[in-house]
């Protein structure tokens, strides 16, 4: 008997609690307290409500929930109780078949973990796809999480508990996130192509840079899938973008433009960019299967280049669409001295500016640009929010700062006679932090400010730093807020250096304009998310995206999906669940639906 939302909505508290028995390990209070939040429109809403109950509980009850899971101790535990999932779940992960070496390692990790945190290690071993993690994955995650800060690791355990609950609820409801799994599987399959040949014993390195063989293989694969999904037109454009069009009621109907990039950083993640191609592909596939046409066409672009890895030509793909392709790029050479023009020719592209110029889109033919992207940050993950609506792509400014004080003997120079360049840097770092936090409640969204590079060149333990180099990266949702931040930081730098007798140079590296998302498209994404049964979490994008380029010619709006592992990105640990991918597809479908009815 499959459970339904209607059953739950109609149940009294005791029945409700009984129906959800076993979803949260030995902790019926979670279902009990969630009962009052009925009715639930969707399973996603129920999941979110349960997680919200745990979030709102006192810290002791949260730790109690973690402790309700049995500790990994002894072979029996490894076989059955590592993650408090059922033996069925465990056996899928193969934990019943540990080698003696694996068993020993797990025992060791478990003992270290217990010493460090005092609660059992919780891991959703069925993993983000629901198919189960390998024993090697489990051991690596265990080792990795041992190094977390206790506050963070406690939250990570709760997130794993929610994921275990999600999988159990999917089972109870007989709901598989089929569209999400399809997206997840596409991502896995596309990630087979990499510039870096896999090396036995080395971790897999996903690197796909502009127009390499792996990059071209990705483009072919995307085109094949688009054909399979039922796109009406599929082509590789003049710069290597993969463009698929699903016509509206007529072939010349206005179009919704969407997509993201398929290149990656070196040793990157498989969702960054690509998710924004797969999600609308899944929607077109469903439309095609239903033989449904909308009043508007859908044009999905897999941008060939966004990351600027092989050449310094960031946003190359989307630049071509807005008529902003820099002619100088063609002459740029890569590390092997291959010019971009040559690389294009070798890839069978026209490699001349006229052809590229023709890729420029006429805004009059488009409704707007939307992009789905992994958040690449920790906000949604830390809030137990699967998706969020982007308010703005932050503007940024960057500086390289060199401080020059006076190098002198650490033993003989009195504190009051020092001109310590590192101490001046330290003051600036703390000011930068404090000043950015002042914008936390800004109506436009918070600022962030980072000193990412910091070095005393040739420092010695017994020499007062005469020089210190540091970088400054300042971002805010609107340009005026970014400018105020920049002004304050530079003026504090001046004050610190004046006070400390330090000379400085602040070399300006970059100013990028903020790209506020169109209020209308933000609202459309918000409505789409609410129709999934989820609350709307608005957040700015700290990173740049193709939408930032398209912003030059079209109103744009973005949907973010949470990344696991605290949103880590540009990193092999980047991850999303099939359930969250499913919500992305559903939200995108809601958006299309809404557009069709309220153009």
**b/e code 150-172 from CB counts within 10 Å (16+ = b):** eeebbbbbbbbbbbbbbbbbbbb
For residue 151, give every residue at least 6 positions away whose Cβ sits within 8 Å of its Cβ, in sequence order, or none. none
- Interacting residues with a second copy between 503 and 532 (CB under 8 A): 503, 509
Q: Which stretch binds a second copy (CB under 8 A): 204-212, 227-235, 283-291, 395-403?
A: 395-403
- Interacting residues with a second copy between 398 and 457 (CB under 8 A): 398, 400, 404, 406, 408-417, 419-420, 422-423, 425-427, 429-430, 433, 436-437, 440, 446, 448-456
Angle, nearest 10°, between helix axes 578-597 and 178-190? 110
Does 569 help bind a second copy (rule: CB under 8 A)? Answer: yes
- Interacting residues with a second copy between 40 and 69 (CB under 8 A): none
Residue 314's region, left for phi above 0, alpha for psi from -120 to 50, else beta, is: beta
What SS3 state is found at 577? Answer: coil
- Interacting residues with a second copy between 470 and 499 (CB under 8 A): 471, 473, 475
Give min distance, CB of 54 to a second copy, in A: 19
Q: How many residues bind a second copy (CB under 8 A)?
A: 73
Residue 81 per-residue DSSP state:
T
For residue 554, give every residue at least 6 positions away whose Cβ sits within 8 Å of its Cβ, in sequence order, or none. 257, 361, 363, 366, 368, 369
The answer to whether 392 and 519 have CB atoms below 8 angstroms apart is no
Given the complex with a second copy, which of 130 and 446 has the nearer CB atom? 446
Give min distance, CB of 575 to a second copy, in A: 15
- Interacting residues with a second copy between 115 and 154 (CB under 8 A): 147, 149, 151-152
Given the complex with a second copy, which of 88 and 434 has the nearer CB atom? 434
Does 284 help bind a second copy (rule: CB under 8 A)? Answer: no
CB atoms within 10 A of CB 316: 29
Record the tokens describing residue 164, joined without a space.
């275990």
Residue from 484, 543, 573, 596 touching a second copy (CB under 8 A): that is 543
Does 382 help bind a second copy (rule: CB under 8 A)? Answer: yes
Give min distance, CB of 593 to a second copy, in A: 30
Instruction: Tell whether omega for the bond before 39 is within 30 degrees of 0, i.e. cis.
Output: yes
Give min distance, CB of 316 to a second copy, in A: 19
Does 378 help bind a second copy (rule: CB under 8 A)? Answer: yes
Give min distance, CB of 532 to a second copy, in A: 23
Question: Distance from first CA to last CA of the chain, Å, rounded?
Answer: 41
Given the complex with a second copy, which of 52 and 435 has the nearer CB atom? 435
- In angstroms, rounded to a whole number, what is the distance separating the alpha carbons of residues 49 and 194? 40
* 348-367 footprint of a second copy as x/- string (CB under 8 A): --------------------
Does 267 help bind a second copy (rule: CB under 8 A)? Answer: no
- In angstroms, rounded to a whole number, what is the distance separating the alpha carbons of residues 218 and 556? 26
**DSSP result, 225-259:** HHHHHT-SEEEE-TTS-EEEEE--SSTTS-EEEEE
Residue from 175, 309, 318, 376 touching a second copy (CB under 8 A): that is 376
Residue from 132, 240, 368, 377 touching a second copy (CB under 8 A): that is 377
């Amino acid at each position: 008997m499959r459970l339904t939302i209607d059953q739950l909505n109609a149940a009294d508290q005791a029945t409700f609690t009984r129906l959800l028995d076993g979803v949260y390990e030995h902790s019926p209070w979670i279902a009990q307290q969630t009962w009052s939040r009925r009715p639930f429109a969707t399973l996603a809403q129920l999941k979110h409500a349960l997680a919200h109950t745990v979030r709102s509980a006192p810290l002791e009850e949260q730790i109690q929930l973690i402790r309700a899971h049995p500790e990994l101790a002894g072979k029996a535990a490894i076989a059955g109780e590592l993650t408090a999932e059922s033996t069925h779940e465990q056996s899928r992960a193969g934990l019943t078949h540990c080698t003696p070496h694996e068993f020993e390692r797990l025992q060791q990790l478990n003992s270290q973990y217990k010493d460090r945190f005092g609660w059992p290690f919780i891991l959703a071993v069925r993993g983000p796809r629901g198919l189960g993690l390998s024993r090697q994955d489990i051991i690596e995650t265990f080792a990795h999480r041992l190094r977390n800060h206790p506050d963070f690791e406690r939250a990570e355990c709760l997130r794993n508990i929610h994921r275990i609950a999600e999988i159990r609820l999917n089972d109870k409801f007989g709901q598989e996130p089929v569209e999400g799994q399809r997206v997840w599987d596409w991502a896995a399959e596309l990630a087979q192509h990499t510039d870096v040949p896999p090396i036995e014993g080395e971790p897999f390195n996903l690197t796909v840079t502009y127009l390499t063989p792996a990059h071209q293989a990705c483009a072919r694969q995307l085109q094949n899938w688009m054909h399979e999904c039922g796109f009406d037109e599929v082509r590789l454009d003049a710069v290597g973008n993969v463009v698929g069009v699903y016509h509206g009621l007529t072939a010349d109907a206005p179009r919704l433009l969407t997509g993201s990039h398929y290149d990656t950083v070196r040793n990157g993640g498989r969702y960054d960019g690509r998710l924004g191609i797969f999600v609308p592909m899944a929607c077109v596939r469903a439309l095609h299967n239903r033989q449904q046409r909308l009043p508007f066409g859908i044009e999905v672009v897999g941008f060939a280049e966004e990351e600027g890895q092989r050449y310094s030509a960031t946003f190359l793909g989307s630049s071509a669409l807005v008529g902003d392709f820099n002619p100088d790029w063609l002459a740029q050479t890569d590390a092997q001295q291959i010019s971009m023009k040559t690389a294009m020719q070798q890839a069978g592209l026209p490699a001349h500016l006229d052809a590229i110029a023709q890729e420029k889109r006429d805004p009059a033919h488009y409704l707007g640009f939307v992009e789905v992207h992994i958040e690449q940050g920790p906000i949604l993950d830390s809030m137990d929010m699967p998706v969020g609506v982007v308010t703005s792509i932050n503007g940024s400014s960057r500086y390289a700062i060199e401080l020059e004080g006076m190098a002198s003997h650490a033993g003989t120079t009195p504190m009051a006679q020092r001109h310590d360049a590192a101490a001046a840097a330290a003051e600036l770092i703390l000011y930068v932090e404090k000043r950015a936090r002042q914008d936390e409640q800004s109506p436009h969204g918070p600022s962030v400010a980072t000193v990412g590079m910091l070095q005393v060149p040739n420092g010695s333990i017994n020499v007062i730093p005469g020089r210190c180099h540091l970088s400054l990266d300042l971002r805010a949702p609107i340009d005026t807020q970014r400018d105020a931040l920049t002004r304050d930081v530079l003026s504090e730098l001046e004050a610190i250096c004046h006070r400390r007798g330090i000379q400085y140079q602040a070399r300006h590296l970059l100013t990028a304009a903020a790209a506020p998302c169109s209020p209308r498209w933000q609202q459309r994404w918000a409505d789409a998310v609410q129709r999934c049964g989820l609350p709307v979490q608005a957040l700015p994008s700290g990173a740049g995206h193709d939408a930032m380029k398209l912003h030059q010619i079209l109103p744009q709006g973005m949907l973010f999906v949470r990344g696991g592992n605290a949103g880590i990105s540009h990193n092999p640990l980047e991850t999303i669940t099939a359930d969250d991918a499913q919500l992305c597809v559903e939200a995108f479908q809601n958006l299309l639906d809404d557009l069709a009815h309220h153009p």
